[in-house]
Amino acid sequence: MLIRDYLKTHKLIMDGAMGTYYSKLVNDESAIAERANLQNPEIILNIHKEYIASGAKLLRTNTFVASKEILEITEAEQRKLIKAGYQIAKEAAESSSEEVYIAADIGPIPENAESEYEDILSEYKVLIDSFLEVGATIFLFETFSDIKYIAPLVKYIKQDKESDIFIITNFCLNKNGYTKSGLSAKRLLEEIRDIKEIDAVGFNCGIGSGHMYQILEGLTFPSNKYLVSAPNSSYPEQYQNRLVYLDNANYFKDKMQKIAALDINIIGGCCGSTPLHIKGLDTMIDMQNHRVLSEYSADNIENIVTEQRKNEFYEKLKSGKKVIAVELDPPFDEKYDKVMECAHQLKEHGVDMITMADSPMGRSRVDSILMSLKLKQELSIPVMPHVCCRDKNMIAMRSGLLGAYINGIRNILIVTGDPVPSERKKETTSVFDYNSIQLMDYVKEMNKEHFSEEPIYYGAALNYGRGLIDKVIERMNKKIAAGASYFLTQPIYSDEDIDRIREIKSRVDTKILCGIMPLVSYRNANFIKNEIAGIHVPDDIVNRYHMDMSKEEAEMVGATISNEIIEKLNPFADGYYFMLPFNRVSLMDKIKID
């Protein structure tokens, strides 16, 4: 009987944890169960059989952690491990006198700042192809935090429209009902409702059965999907450098009985659960399915349109008027008077936005968001803190963005961030858990989830001189897809770079603020030319300075060069982004902008 036919009349008991149970059996918390598919298949077979003996009728293959990076294996070895995992589960299922279903289990492939979407997607397809080659007809994506990979992958799996493949998608929540990508359970269910290739949706891992019940109780479920719940047995405790889960099988089963009563169709366990947590569930809960699926129609969904409050900076930019943004560097210490004075002068000058750098050059300064708030609250001036990926993990980043939002920040510049200087790498560790595009995707989701009435508008860096122009444009389009509303460029000096920006502007439908940095001395010009990657300062620019120039003379040369560049950029620039060396805001008096 096909699983979808079984679910029309029955609830289905799924197995419990593999990874934590395997670690417990081999007495090694660091052991990766998936390696045992090839190294010790008998123990995996026995675990599957234990779950079957405890009443499980849906087994998950021992393939949740199957990424090449984690296992340090080749693609050929990866395929072999996947197929072995499926065959072991199949052998266990065939040993049972009752029908047992097998789900091809796929967990999230780890990502970092160097990850490319297409590479990750390709690796998922390798996993899928390996399962299809051994006859898998049920796929389970579990512990995911969003649908950016799931949406294309389920279409890939069901390319054959006549296929009987059944797809389950489970997401991992925290006790507040959100994934690590910032999506709520409610939002995820709404998104999955619209994806016809997905047959069942639910939640696993992250939380215990008590919090799982509380979250599920408050949700409205899509009427066109079967529902799944597989919480952890409990929250783990640290004991003698080991994670220990409570011995609470009876409590777990009591809670799962309540969860099943919410018309959940597939019931199982995740981290910390064992065959004891599954044993007897089939007799404790009403195994009859009382939930009848209905066809989903978008016509039945009420569309609520939220009117967004206008963002003055973006509205001016969108109108075609040139905007002026000026970058200031936060102080290195508690003395902020100079920055406040500079900001006040810029306000008097009529600039549209002050941007606040985020510890440029990887050297610690006052937090860009907090310094921006200081300016905004005391001077009532529009601010745009730079937010880089170097220093914070996603927990700290989300906290900072929420804090910025409730204090009125509505514009940010998202950048990957300068690396930590090599001489400080021993004492300072870069995070880089994600890159600027991944962070943009995250803020895009926060805008939908939390800030829909007044979203955060965010800009992106345009490193126009890196490689082939087609590659530059390709990366720009990725940032636009991730929600970037405009781009700020690196400082521009050469005619060649002006031509590149002109071509980019002609090929990409977006707003570009062209970077202008007046060089203020011969030494400053040489430093930027020779030590700052990504900025091209031609010799003829450097040669306009000399060592014995006065400060005033050098600044005038810098302003003159900037005015010449602005005149060339003016026909196509949407605005200008000024970076003033050493926060010399008086330079703005010498700049001419039509």
**How far is 280 from 523, CA to CA, in rounded Å?**
78
| Residue 232, helix vs strand vs coil | strand
Q: 303 and 491 in contact (C-beta within 8 Å)?
A: no
CA dihedral of residues 173, 177, 183, 187 (deg, nearest 10): 120
Tokens 């959100």 found at: 178
Choose among 92, 97, 32: nearest CA to 60: 92
CA distances from 13 to 52, 58, 283 (A): 10, 6, 11
Binding site membership: which residues? 205, 270-271
Q: Which residues are paired to 385 by β-bridges?
A: 356
Q: What is the pLDDT of residue 30?
A: 86
Q: Nearest CA to 209 among 263, 242, 266, 249? A: 249
Q: Containing H/E element for 140?
A: strand 138-144
Domains in the chain, CATH or no CATH each: 3-300 (3.20.20.330), 312-590 (3.20.20.220)
pLDDT per position in the chain (594 positions), as tens?
Answer: 999 999 999 999 999 999 999 999 998 888 999 999 999 999 999 999 999 999 999 999 999 999 999 999 999 999 999 999 999 999 999 999 999 999 999 999 998 767 889 999 999 999 999 999 999 999 999 999 999 999 999 999 999 877 899 999 999 999 989 898 888 999 999 999 999 999 999 999 999 999 999 999 999 999 999 999 999 998 877 665 566 787 889 999 999 999 999 999 999 999 999 999 999 998 999 888 878 888 765 555 455 445 678 999 999 999 999 999 999 999 999 999 999 999 999 999 999 999 999 877 778 899 999 999 999 999 999 999 999 988 888 888 989 999 999 999 999 999 988 776 655 556 667 777 788 998 999 999 899 888 999 999 999 999 998 889 999 999 999 999 999 999 999 999 999 999 999 999 999 999 999 999 999 999 999 999 999 888 999 999 999 999 999 999 999 999 999 999 999 999 999 999 999 999 999 999 999 887
Binding-site sequence positions for Zn(2+):
205, 270-271
Q: What per-residue confidence (pLDDT) applies to 235?
A: 83
Q: What's the pLDDT score for residue 465?
A: 85
Helix H or strand E encompassing 326: strand 323-328
What b-and-e string marks burial along 214-230, b requiring 16 or more CB atoms within 10 Å of the CB? ebbeebebbebbbbbbb
Q: Quote the pLDDT of residue 361.
A: 72
**Predicted pLDDT of residue 393:** 87
Whole-number Cα distances in Å, 567 to 433, 464, 497, 554: 41, 19, 14, 20
